Structure formats: structure tokens, C-alpha cells
Structure 1
Amino acid sequence: MVENCSWEAHATNRNKVCPGAGEALELYSRGFLTMEQISTLPPPAIVNYLFLLLCLCGLVGNGLVLWLFGFCIKRTPFSVYFLHLAGADVGYLSSKAVLSALSTGAFLGAPAAYLRAVCRLAGLCTFVAGVSLLPAVSTERCLAVLLPSWYWRRRPKRLSAVACTLLWALALLVTGTHRYFCGAPGRAGCRRMDAALGALLFLALCPLMVLPCLALVLRVECRSRRRQRSAKLTHVVLAVVAVFLVSSIYLGIDWFLFWGFHIPAPFPEYVTDLCICINSGAKPVVYFLAGRDKSQRLWEPLRVVFQRALRDGAELGEAGGGTANTVAVEMQCPPGNAA
């Protein structure tokens, strides 16, 4: 018998329903992003089509970011983080699109079940990687703004690449451990693993991304004399973190109520997944809005817009004598591949 069973909603009464052994396995095998729901009914069919639409739009936007940041814009310490963020978002949106397509087509059988398991595993890994990258980029940006002279002189040249590699390794380790405890029948400790995963996301990584952003707001936004110098990339970092916090609030409420007060998650799984899809697809829009020039009446190439959004971060190395220690953002796309 499973404790803290889900609630089945009816028009006249509400009965507490404890799932059987097979149902409990399916309930917990989906992992942290589901937990226990008030209603075990499947989402409406329109939700799957909405997921497909959001995922396709997000894949197009993040695919452009991968192409431009990877091949068309010369690397800077911050563009490396945005490149890996786009890769994590592409991975999550791809896995969610496949799951939605399988649900829309009502595919059954062993191949479909195996594909669902792989997509859930890949989705969890890329989600954890994306969340882990946000504290890194916000912390680096905070150091670059608050201590520019020290930061650009002491910063290791390949710090961004090394940090991203370690964070991806952390995501793989967390996902593998989660799979070990929650992926097979009779495995004990799945609930503890879900609780530890939630603590990592909301009690460790969220404060690590919020505190540097608060320091950025106090230092940059409250001093109008320095706004024009370093505002664009700072606004990008603040907006990306804000979008994540707003979109993950439902997931945080689910986790807090379930593990703090043993209350079944009040939001259906598709509501929290919908918010995460919006978060993954919104980053290219943030880059575009931050980099566009309002005085330009004609449409600008996307590589120019993204270049403008990243330029402030590259030019912060002027501390102490006006020498730019960082690499200037340059266009490397051949004329035929201009975005």
C-alpha cells in the first residue's frame, strides 16, 4: 500500500484512491516532474497538440541560437553558456515533442514504451543541465560587473567550457542515479531520490542563480550612469532567470506541498510540463528583444541582433586601461549562410 495516495476528483464526492502495485510503478517511474496528482485522468487531446506546437516553435528558435552561437558569432565567455543552454533546451523540447507525438497517435507496444522511457530520461537530464547552467552564467555575470578588473585578469581562459562540461556531468550523474532508484520494480528509495532532486533544484540551484541577480540589480539598475555600458547582457541574464523562476513556480509548489506537507500535487503533470516548455522556448525571444535596435526600421539579420546582445559582456574587460581582454564579437558566417 502506498502512503499519501492521490485524490480522484468526482462531481459529487472526492475519494482517496490508493494505486495498486502496477499503478504505483507507473506513477513513480515518471519521476520528479510528476509526483502524485489529484487527478490521474490523462490530459485532454488538445494539450498534446499544444505541446507539439510549443516544442516545434522552441526547437526552431533554439536551433537558430545553436547555429549562430556555434558557427556565426565568435565565442565569448558568456556565449558559451548560451550555447549550452540552447543545447539543453533543444534536448528537452525534442524529448517532449516525441512524447506528445506518441500520446497523440496513441502508440502502444514495447517499442513505444521503450521510446517513452528514453525520452523521459533525456528530458530529465537536459532539464537538470539547463537549470544548472543558470547559476553559472548569473554568477559569472555578477563577477564581471562587480569586480571587472579582478575578473578579467584572474579568470581562466577556458572557465566557461570547463564549467559547462562539469555541469553536464552533474546532470548525467543525477539522471543516472534517479534512473537506478526509480527505473525498476521494487527499487527502494525512489521517493528519497525525488526529494533530493527537488532539494537540489529549489534549495541549492535557485538561490545560487537568484542571489547574483539581486546583486546585479542593486549594482547596475540603481546606477544610471553605468546602464548604457553593461545593461544589455545584464538584462539578458536577468530575463532568462526571471522566466525560469516564473515558469517553474508550479513545479516548486508541487514539490513543496508534497514533500513538506504530504499533500498530493495540486497541478496536473501537463500544467507543469507546459510551463517548462514555455521556459525552454522563451530564451531565443529574450535574446532577440534584448539585442534588437529600436531605431532600425528595416529588419536586421539575427546574427547582428544576437551580436549586439552579447557585445556588452565582451567589452567589460576594459577595466583598468581600456584594453579589451575579451574577444570582440565578430561575424564568421559565410555570406550565403547569413541568418
Structure 2
Amino acid sequence: MVGNCSWEGQPADRSKMCPGPSEAPELYSRGFLTIEPISPLPPPAVMNYIFLLLCLCGLVGNGLVLWFFGFSIKRTPFSIYFLHLASADAGYLFSKAVFSILNTGGFLGTFADYIRAVCRVAGLCTFVASVGLLPAISSERCASVLFPAWYWHQRPRRLSAVVCALLWALALLVTGIHHYFCVFLDRQASGPACRHMDTFLGILLFLVFCPLMVLPCLALILHVECRARRRQRSAKLNHVVLATDSVFLVSSIYLGIDWFLFWVFQIPAPFPEYVTDLCICINSSAKPVVYFLAGRDKSQRLWEPLRVVFQRALRDGAELGEAGAGTPNTVTMEMQCTPGNAS
């Protein structure tokens, strides 16, 4: 979350919060990976309105996903993942929207600073949870495609719920430790303990979660390509998984470059903080659009209910034939299967 020095201090004491030119290279000015990021220049005022508009649109989209995946669509292993993913994205967008409202209105004082601190912690926790869910979705989808017999017959029934719970616990633990070292010990984002925690957090996000996300996607792409050569139709769920991972990888490029340059070369972030924050907001807001584009039927000229579109986006059409038979974990949607086709 962006916490700019010019937003949170009065003009009289701004010199206490903003670094001078000689001090700037020594400060870790990463806008999201620190609790109290320090930036020498404030973002344009219009960015607050852009953030607010983008967050409101993203909240509407993720709210629809939460409603349909939680109440209107039959629960499946993958709908549970996407339900938690929408919850994490909605949490981040809500925190960012509240932060933008406070900055737009110029609210100051102890209570406003407390709300900003809560938004930073909540935004970091939901961001870590959102990123952690992506490799879990990719790995489970890859397992369901490459090993269908094992997946549909021997997979633990509550595996999705357990994995989501563990990822949320990991996000809470990492955020709590990060907040402890960066606030209660150092009191400054440039302290050694906080920088070590930022290094650990960056390693977790970019060197652990990203490879676990990319490798299953590569295996899935190769499998889809082989099926395409055999003229078999791939499932829409494959497109959803690949698209959501691609959106995150593209939107996190600036954040990854900033973190890598500081971690390896101790170079301050070359990009403005609001640029990376804008990319993260786009990543959290774009997933409902991905579900809609993947689930819509191009042959239908008339408007379709969103429930049908989202339901079609989760359809893993070939799994019944791949697994050999339907199981309780199978997505039970409008598939045209006859008893004679099941082995």
C-alpha cells in the first residue's frame, strides 16, 4: 500500500518524514513490501481518483464472483479456490479504496493514521494470500489434467478447503512477523530488521510462489498443445488458470524489478510507487473480467445471465472422459454425457 510522506505529515514537520537527496539512496523505497514506504516525490493527485475508481470497479466484479461462486453455483474443488481468490482480491481492493479516500479527503490525525496502518497490514495480508492461491490453483489443475485417474478417484475430498486455510494462515503469519519487525522493533522502514523481512517476503513471492505458478502452467500448455494437435477441445478452465497467472506475472513485473534491484544491488526503486500499486490493483480487478471472457459463449448473441457465464468458465469439460467416470468431486454442470460413454 502506498504511504507517501507528503500525505501523512503536516507541512511543518514534513522534513522529519521525507528524506533529503543525500539520504534517498539509503532508504528502501518499495511501495508495497514495506509497512512505512518513503518516497521523495508525491504521486499526482489524480492518481487517488484513479485508484478509487479502479478499486470500486474491482470490488463490484469480485463481489459478483463471491456471490455466484458462494451461493449460486455448485461447489467444486476449483470454485473453492476462486472463491478464496476473490475474497483476497476484494480485501486488497477495499483496503486500497479506504486508503485512497483518506488521501483524497486529506484526512489527518491519530484516527486517520490508525486506519492507514490497518489498511497497510490488511492489504499486505490479502496480497500475499492472493499470490499464494495462484500456484495452488495451477498445481491442482495440472494434476487434474496430467493424472486424471489419481486426481478424480484418490484426491482428498476437502483438499481445496485445507489448502486455502493453510495459505491464509501463512499470509497472516508472514504479515504479523513483518509488521512486528517493521513497526515494533525498527519504527522505520529503512531499519535492518525490516529490510531483512522485506527480503524474505520478496523471496517468498517471487522465488517460491512464482516458480510454483509457472511450472504447472508450462506443463498445462504443453498438454493443451498436444491435445490441439489431436484436434481435441481443451477445457475453458485451462484458459482461466493460464489467463489469471499471466495477468499476475505481467502486472507484477515492475514490483519484481524494484525488489530485485534493491535486494541484489541495493538500488532504490526506479519506478514510482503508485505505478506498481496501480499494477497490483489492475491484477486484483481483472480476474472477474477473465472469468467473464472465458465463460461467455460467442455464438450467443443475446445477453446471458452472469451465473451461466461464470458457471461455464469453471467447466472442465474433458475431465469426465479423462478420469473414466464421474466422481463427487467432478464439476456437475450441463455436460452432455451418456451412461454408455462412461467406462
Band the TM-score falls in, shorter-chain normalisation = 0.7 to 0.9
1:214 counterpart = 2:215 = no
For structure 2, the residue ranges without an aligned partner over 5 or more in a row are: 1-19, 335-343
Contact 2:31–2:276 under 8 Å retained in 1: no
Change over 3 Å in CA distance of 1:114–1:28 after alignment to 2: farther
Q: Which residue of 1 aligns with 2:291?
A: 287
Change over 3 Å in CA distance of 1:213–1:226 after alignment to 2: farther
Contact 1:52–1:100 under 8 Å retained in 2: yes
Q: Normalized against structure 1, the TM-score is what? A: 0.86
Residue deviations 1:288-336 (CA, integer Å, cap 9, x gap): 00000000010000000011111216x61443533344344459xxxxx
Q: Which residue of 1 aligns with 2:22?
A: 17
Q: Which residue of 1 aligns with 2:244?
A: 240
Out of 272, 276, 289, the position equivalent to 1:268 is 272
Residue deviations 1:216-265 (CA, integer Å, cap 9, x gap): 00111332166755431001000000000000000000001011111110
Q: Which residue of 2 aligns with 1:12?
A: none
Residue deviations 1:46-100 (CA, integer Å, cap 9, x gap): 0000000000000000000000000000011001000000000000000000001
Contact 1:36–1:264 under 8 Å retained in 2: no
Q: Which residue of 2 aligns with 1:323?
A: 326
Partner Cα distance (1:95, 1:144) in 2: 35
Partner Cα distance (1:207, 1:186) in 2: 31
Q: Which residue of 1 aligns with 2:40?
A: 40
Amino acid across the alignment from 1:322: A
Q: Which residue of 2 aligns with 1:192?
A: 196
Q: Which residue of 1 aligns with 2:134?
A: 134
Partner Cα distance (1:238, 1:67) in 2: 23
1:49 counterpart = 2:53 = no
Partner Cα distance (1:329, 1:67) in 2: 19
Q: Which residue of 1 aligns with 2:119?
A: 119
Q: Which residue of 2 aligns with 1:7?
A: none
Q: Which residue of 1 aligns with 2:153?
A: 153
Contact 1:288–1:305 under 8 Å retained in 2: yes
Amino acid across the alignment from 1:50: I
Q: CA deviation at 1:186?
A: 3.4
Partner Cα distance (1:79, 1:280) in 2: 17
The residue correspondences of 1:31-180 to structure 2 (distance < 5 A) are: 32=33, 40-180=40-180
Out of 205, 217, 221, the position equivalent to 2:209 is 205
Change over 3 Å in CA distance of 1:226–1:171 after alignment to 2: farther
Identity %: 71
Q: Normalized against structure 2, the TM-score is what? A: 0.85
Q: Helix, strand or coil: the match of 2:315?
A: helix
1:311 counterpart = 2:312 = no
Amino acid across the alignment from 2:93: L
CA root-mean-square deviation: 2.3
Partner Cα distance (1:48, 1:287) in 2: 27
Change over 3 Å in CA distance of 1:320–1:79 after alignment to 2: closer
Residue deviations 1:152-172 (CA, integer Å, cap 9, x gap): 111000000000000000000
Amino acid across the alignment from 2:292: F
Q: CA deviation at 1:36?
A: 6.9
Change over 3 Å in CA distance of 1:227–1:205 after alignment to 2: farther
For structure 1, the residue ranges without an aligned partner over 5 or more in a row are: 1-14, 332-339
Amino acid across the alignment from 1:49: Y
